[in-house]
A and B are shown apart, each in its own frame.
Chain A
């Protein structure tokens, strides 16, 4: 059967030119690959910026960067990683590809809107990077654009702000598309509690995209208007209030961190069940905890402002709520542990990434609780402790889950199998490298090394040098993955429909899938992860009727 690589549909009908066939496609699978292409190019750019920073920090004192250039670099790194990479992240890349397959659908509810989202994303990227080409240089505000500095600096913040606004629209449209798809296009018989847990993760994420993104959109728009028309809302000289900016920024940006992690949690559940060959422990608890993390996550933003002069009462409430949000997260971790217990664990590459991510994320999460304690935060705020904490959750957590997911679905997407040995080596490099890179920064931060500085006191040298070596290991791990994936395309074995013996619907169709995924839509009256004696229970015939 010809796969979606061979035939496609575009908004304008058919094209001969293969490039036009790609950039105007309305096939969710192709759009997913378009996202992946742009996103990972940007990811590697941002990693290069990070490695440059680590090189500057290898010795105390100024090396080869000017202080101002360093400020631009961490802003470039932060903005790219957050707004251009990890926020569209797992949903736009893997979610786009896998969601309809898991639901037993032929596409998303609004395929053309999906293409529009990608185009807006590309326009957003171009706008953000236009600041690099112009004389003033990239924004130097940090990815948070705090007022009043973002109102005053003469670096090029406007393009970056406009870009973030456009990217917000793109993200909202994707969110709407996913919510409607999940409500409307589940295969007949598939109730909400028969959906795979990756879908639950995407569902909670989509609601956050829809409800929180408008807040940052309008806030950044106000900063834009502030810079161009001097409105005064965040400008203290005109009676405006910069603390209000911080509130509004974090009302979005805290839920946004759950927006990054929830799809990742979904991947964990998929990979764990497949490589323990058993059903997940506590399916309902995991599904509900995704939704409740999304809900409570809305009410905790103030923990970023414990030192910003908000009232004691507000600080106590925000601190308490932050502790609460750890509960559903803990529920998940324990459910995963229980799934592993007495399962027949297979340590394939995706599984290694997922287990690694659980370790890293647990450290990241617990240090988050440390920061949520008001007293501790007053000491740790704005130090490398914070930077280490969020790299543990995002790089060590989300990114590891993302990479695990990419390995897991690589056979489905490409139809080939990558080299297992190279896959494990890459994981080893990255797991070691990552912990070398960021664990010392907990200590440096705890001892008082502030963040966002191009320099540090000589006493901190040892920590920064360990981090420097770690960064090199991480970078080489990433390159190994890239190489492995590229070689897999050429010389990998044919994967077949279900190389991992997994149970969800995407593994019942050919790899790579055909244009509209399912020739007939199956009836789903079974749970997503049904195994018996280590084998999937559910099988279909060629007409997608269940065989017993």
Chain B
């Protein structure tokens, strides 16, 4: 299709942006969306920082109760998964559609693995009576109540983002099949990749502040 033009008095022509197909606009919009996500998590990090400052010692002790090995394995899994997702995006642009689809699939599998490990960790905590509002936790010191309150809220919200990520990547897989994502039209995939990078970045902060301050 010919690009639409606007004309000035002298008759010079200038290209008009097409709102139905605006790659830069869609990418820019998604970046702003990620900014809002960052503000949201930012508040939680702020709350963590304030409470950590007030109860440093108890936060350290509580952190010792978390399994740093499971957390570490999860960190590695997420790290690898952003790599496969990024690679998938790259392959798509180079026209290797099948490889790209496999890589997205691999990312989904790793995301599910991450969630399973996380679920296991939570269930162990809950089994020990450590969950918000439990009588065992409420009997502990205030610093510990706050630590675990924040722990469940923040990892929970992050987990929710992982679930959304899985849904989005599955959608990308469907789009690849239907041709909605193809080498010349990658914007959806590009944005999902960005999103997944973001989810992983949040975890990179969550891991040290919850698991490592007690080591």
The chain A residues found within 8 Å of chain B, CB to CB, are 105-111, 172, 175-177, 179-180, 183-185, 187-189, 210-215, 217-219, 222, 225, 229-233, 238-241, 244, 248, 520-523, 525, 544-546, 548
Contacts and interface: CB of A to CB of B under 8 A. Distances in A.
Contacts of A244: 47, 50
A230 B135 CA distance: 11
Contacts of B35: 210-211
B40 interface: yes
A522 B133 CA distance: 62
Given A230-B133, A232-B145, A238-B138, A110 B14 contact: no
B205 interface: no
Contacts of B43: 214-215, 218-219, 248
Interface in B21-40: 22, 24-26, 28-29, 32-33, 35-37, 39-40
B6 A231 contact: no
* Interface size of B as a range: 35 or more
A110 B29 contact: yes
A239 B47 contact: no
A184 B21 CA distance: 11
Contacts of B4: 521
Contacts of A213: 36
Contacts of A548: 9
Given A239-B143, A546-B8, A210 B32 contact: yes
Contact of A215 (B14, B15, B39): B39
A187 B168 CA distance: 34
A232 B149 contact: yes
A109 to B, nearest CB: 5
What are the 7 A-B residue pairs with the smallest beta carbon separation, nearest first?
Answer: A239-B142, A230-B133, A188-B14, A214-B39, A214-B40, A231-B149, A184-B25
B144 to A, nearest CB: 9
A185 B19 contact: yes
A188 B15 CA distance: 7
Contact of A233 (B9, B143, B149): B149
B118 interface: no
The residue among A183, A210, A232, A248 with the most chain B CB atoms within 10 A of its own CB is A232
Contact of B146 (A172, A212, A239, A521): A239
Nearest to A100: B19
10 contacts: A176-B32, A188-B14, A188-B16, A218-B43, A229-B152, A232-B142, A232-B145, A238-B146, A521-B16, A523-B14
B44 interface: yes
Given A210-B32, A239-B55, A239-B145, A183 B25 contact: yes
B153 interface: yes
B7 interface: yes
A179 B33 CA distance: 11
Given A229-B132, A520-B6, A238 B145 contact: yes
B108 to A, nearest CB: 25
B37 A214 contact: yes
Contacts of A525: 8-9
A172 B36 CA distance: 8
Given A185-B17, A239-B143, A244-B50, A180 B25 contact: yes
A129 B178 CA distance: 41
B202 interface: no
Given A176-B29, A229-B132, A238-B142, 16 more contacts: A105-B19, A108-B19, A110-B26, A177-B29, A180-B28, A184-B22, A184-B28, A213-B36, A215-B43, A232-B145, A233-B51, A233-B146, A239-B55, A239-B143, A522-B6, A544-B6
A238 B51 CA distance: 12
Given A105-B19, A106-B19, A525-B8, A231 B28 contact: no
Nearest to B32: A176
Contacts of B8: 189, 523, 525, 546
Interface string B150-175: 10110000000000000000000000
